[in-house]
Amino acid sequence: MTNIILLGPPGAGKGTQSKKLENILNVIQLSTGDMLRAEVASGSDLGNQAKDVMDAGGLVSDDMIIGMISKRVDQDDCAQGFILDGFPRTVPQAEALGIMLAEKSLNLDHVIELTVDDEAMVDRICGRYTCAKCGSGYHDSFQKPAQEGVCDKCGGKEFSRGVDDNTDTVRARLKAYHEQTAPISTFYGEIGILKQVDGMAEIENVTRQLENIVS
Ligand code: AP5
Ligand code: MG
């Protein structure tokens, strides 16, 4: 079993690299952003509470997120391990995660931060789109499907773009990251578990850097 946290600002490549590591390590990606978007789409109470905060680029309450992750980690598909993508995002979330893992007798094997330049993140996020059928991620310039308009993985021909993937929201998300999430790097640095990789390198190169750490 391998349990990993991937840290980094919006657009750093957490989702992109989690998908690669899922295949390499046979573990599962747990993206709190994806979980919240599914709640919003389903119109659940949790989704309705989260929607406005997400649209504004702010952070959803710690309690809501911690409860969501705690339940998710208990599911069978997490038995081989998980990659936390987008969680923890505040120091209270990191502290709660520590307690939660101890209660479940689980270890944290790696905390890896993708370091990037903020300015490049706006282009990365605004050019991002996903296959509407299987959720595979693409980018207008940096990660095109082999055949234009056709998903490499499932052959789907419909794609969607995130409602919060516009310049204004990305800037608000970057601000929230620096104010509320960046202190987590210090938190894990002090525990001595934090490693950093260059997230500005090409996608395949970043994957190789991660593989060197986790394997
Ligand atoms: P979330 O969905 O987690 O968004 P985020 O953290 O802002 O991160 P992104 O998904 O935008 O970026 P990413 O690092 O995954 O980059 P990606 O791989 O897609 O959260 C959304 C919202 O939900 C939050 O704003 C908040 O409101 C709420 N939320 C979620 N979790 C929460 C929590 N724990 N607490 C409170 N609130 C929470 O890459 C981006 C693009 O760049 C892609 O198109 C990709 O192809 C391309 N790309 C990736 N790597 C490279 C590279 N090396 N070179 C060139 N292009 C690249
Ligand atoms: Mg993501």
CA atoms lying within 13 Å on the CB side of residue 30: 24
State pLDDT tens for residues 14-50: 999 999 999 999 999 999 999 999 999 999 999 999 9
Atom of ligand 1 nearest to the CA of 169: 25
Residues 1 and 3: their CA atoms lie apart, in Å, by 7
When pLDDT is cut at 50, 70 and 90, the band that residue 58 belongs to is very high
Q: What is the DSSP string of 99-139?
A: HHHHHTT----EEEEEE--HHHHHHHHHTEEEETTT--EEE
CA nearest 206: which of 124, 127, 105?
A: 124
Mean pLDDT of the 62-77 span:
96
- Residues forming the active site: 14, 89, 128, 161, 173
Residue whose structure tokens are 């929201």: 169
Residues 94 and 158: their CA atoms lie apart, in Å, by 37
Query: Rounded to whole angstroms, what are the CA distances from 148 to 13, 61, 159?
Result: 22, 39, 11
Q: Is pLDDT above 90 for 155? A: yes
When pLDDT is cut at 50, 70 and 90, the band that residue 163 belongs to is confident
When pLDDT is cut at 50, 70 and 90, the band that residue 145 belongs to is very high
If you measure from the C-alpha of residue 76 to the centroid of ligand 1, how many angstroms do you get, rounded to a whole number? 25
Mean pLDDT of the 62-86 span:
97
Mean pLDDT of the 204-212 span:
98
Question: Which tokens go with 4?
Answer: 């990993």
Mean pLDDT of the 187-203 span:
97
State pLDDT tens for residues 88-130: 999 999 999 999 999 999 999 999 999 999 999 999 999 999 9
**Which residues approach ligand 1 with their CB closer than 6 A?**
8, 10-16, 31-33, 36, 53-54, 57-60, 65, 86-87, 89, 93, 124-125, 128, 137, 139, 142-143, 173, 199, 202-203, 206
